[in-house]
Structure 1
Amino acid sequence: MDLRQMEYLVALADEQQFTRAAAACRVSQSGLSAAIRGLEDELGTPLFTRTTRRVEPTDAGLALLPYARAMLAQSAAARDAVVHATRQLSGELRVGAEQCLGVVDVPSLLERFRRRYPLVDIHFSQCGSHDLVEQVRDGRLDVAFVATNEHLTGMMHTELGRWPVVLLCPPDHRLAASARVDWADLREQDFIDFEESWGMRSLNDAACAANGVTRRVRCTVNDVHTLLDLVQRGLGVALVPQHVASKPQAAGLVAVPLPPSATPNWVVSTVTGSPAATSAPLLLEILDAELRRREPDSLTA
């Protein structure tokens, strides 16, 4: 057993689907599947049951999971301890993020940064991507994790990942049984969406306009879980990035694909100010090391 196999095991148990788990680990689906099969062969027992709709841990997989999580946590802590012993840094770091980005776990990232650089005073704020971009531009933030491609001209930004946009609706909705919906099917629907400062809202507005859909946004929210709750209660449908439809709070809802050629992707990026705090590149260095560790060409299984 190695750390990479443990990482894939945890991701597959959390996502319950090979496609989403592979995307979370930034590896090919075949690579992740091969690594899990290799682990099962090594242990001599299946770790997951596989169906066409879901992948779930077996009793053996559930028994291994806490040890896998502990191994990953100990590995990260060991790396952080080495860096902390050799680097001392003070000052402050101002970070912002939109909620539920999927591609990056910002609280976990900040936790790791704090372990490495305990003398740095971290200030964290959470709001919509358009507000975050503006705060980086005018110097109120050093780093922001955003879900928009708008208003980034002249700013330093790096794409971290992207997800397709899907329609989320209750199981009794007339579109829930569809294999795919066309944009024309969304006319006359009641929508739930985010406030205008969120990148998802402007993405949805632009996509609907481009496809001839005049929307009725009945409920406007500033929280992902409230949006899911309102959809659960039948107050409208929502257009969300695919990973939001996979959250435990979305259990019972139906995610229906939209036409890929006519539907933009939801893109997550880092945006940094110029000049930024000395500690800003070090935060991104931790993130970059984590992402590179997941690259497919480093697969050892």
Structure 2
Amino acid sequence: MDLRQLEFFSAVAGELSFTRAADRLTIAQSAVSAGVRSLEGELGVELFDRSRRQIRLTGAGDLLLPKVREALDAVNEVRDAAQETAHAITGSIVIGLMTSVTLVDVPGLLGLFRTGHPGVGVRLRAARRGSAGLVDDLATGELDLAFLALSGPVPASLIARPITSSPMVLVVPDGHRLATARTVGLADLAAEEFIDLPPGYASRQIVDDAFTMAGLDRRVMIEVSDIGTAAEYVTNGLGVALLPEFAAREVREVRRIPVDTVPDFTVYLAASRTRRVSAAVRAFVDLALPGGNSAP
């Protein structure tokens, strides 16, 4: 059993795909498949159920995965200690992102990070189930860091630092009965049909929680998975939306109206509370959170 076999297994378990794991590791798929097969042969168990269209972990694979990730973390700790003496950082980071959330200049950060730490590989992964999915992927070790939004307190499983925020606004088409209002309350919206993101996305949770706290119901008629397109549905008269102001800033033929009692949409940089933080992750956090310490 060698380290590469464990890395291959962890990558395939994270992606549930040999092809995506090979892309993530920047090696041939055949090498990943052979490495996992070799590991299975040495252990005498199958780690993946390959009988379905999408592979999945077997019971043995589920049992082994956290132990493999602990072992890889321990190896990375040794590597970091060696690198400290050479004043160079290598390794890799996997960072989760919310699609179409432009409040943080992630490309700019990555450009600066690469200039300062050319030996670190950075891989980005778009949220598949909104911020709730990013929280889960941090907990399982699929991600090292994530830019995410939260409704309510930070989960106990995370360390998170706020970076920036955007107020939530009501987005209505020109000519709507509320288009000239200076501000609105949630009770003013009881009769409206809403466009929103699916459950699990932070902006949806912020609004759902606000309506629940107010003891009000609302009707979500259209769900879209990209916050950047939601306001376009408003433009076409398909409903109203409660969105972070940045998501509707460039959309024409709509009005953006402040809303009482709805918290801001806040972006955090988050990491798992229980996983070891590598030197590469600390370096990225120090860049993203100037003046802070080496943890989100």
1:267 aligns to 2:266 (yes or no): yes
Q: Which of 147, 165, 170 in structure 1 is aligned with 2:168?
A: 165
User: What is the SS of the residue equivalent to 1:180?
Assistant: coil
Q: Distance in 1 between matches of 2:107 and 2:220?
A: 31
Residue in 2 that maps onto 1:123: 123
**1:279–1:118 distance in 2 versus 1, CA, 3 Å:** same
Q: Percent identity?
A: 29
* Counterpart residue identity of residue 284, structure 1: V
Q: Distance in 1 between matches of 2:252 and 2:291?
A: 29
* Counterpart residue identity of residue 135, structure 2: V
* Counterpart residue identity of residue 118, structure 1: P
Q: How does 1:204-223 map to 2 (within 5 A)?
A: 204-223=207-226
Q: 1:183 Cα shift? A: 1.1
Q: Distance in 2 between matches of 1:130 and 1:150?
A: 13
Q: Is the 8 A contact 1:184 1:212 kept in 2?
A: no
Q: How does 1:1-301 map to 2 (within 5 A)?
A: 88-127=88-127, 128-148=130-150, 149=152, 152-246=155-249, 248=250, 250-259=251-260, 262-273=261-272, 274-289=275-290
Q: Distance in 2 between matches of 1:192 and 1:289?
A: 37
Q: 1:280 Cα shift? A: 1.1
Q: 1:108 Cα shift? A: 2.0
* Counterpart residue identity of residue 268, structure 1: V
Q: Distance in 2 between matches of 1:195 and 1:111?
A: 32
Unaligned runs of 5+ in 2: 1-85
* Counterpart residue identity of residue 283, structure 1: F
Q: Which runs of 4+ in 1 moved over 6 A?
A: none
When the two chains are superposed, the root-mean-square deviation of aligned CA atoms in Å is 2.1
Q: Distance in 2 between matches of 1:103 and 1:226?
A: 16
Q: 1:107 Cα shift? A: 2.4
Q: Distance in 2 between matches of 1:112 and 1:253?
A: 36
Q: Distance in 1 between matches of 2:222 and 2:278?
A: 38
User: What is the SS of the residue equivalent to 1:158?
Assistant: strand
User: What is the SS of the residue equivalent to 2:143?
Assistant: coil
TM-score between the two structures when normalised by the length of structure 1: 0.62
Cα deviation, 1:200-247, whole Å, max 9, x if unaligned, reads 11111111122233111111111123212211111111111122232x
* Counterpart residue identity of residue 137, structure 1: A
Q: Distance in 2 between matches of 1:197 and 1:151?
A: 15
User: What is the SS of the residue equivalent to 1:263?
Assistant: coil
Unaligned runs of 5+ in 1: 1-85, 292-301
Q: Distance in 2 between matches of 1:199 and 1:172?
A: 29
Residue in 2 that maps onto 1:48: none
TM-score between the two structures when normalised by the length of structure 2: 0.63
User: What is the SS of the residue equivalent to 1:95?
Assistant: strand
Q: How many residues align?
A: 202
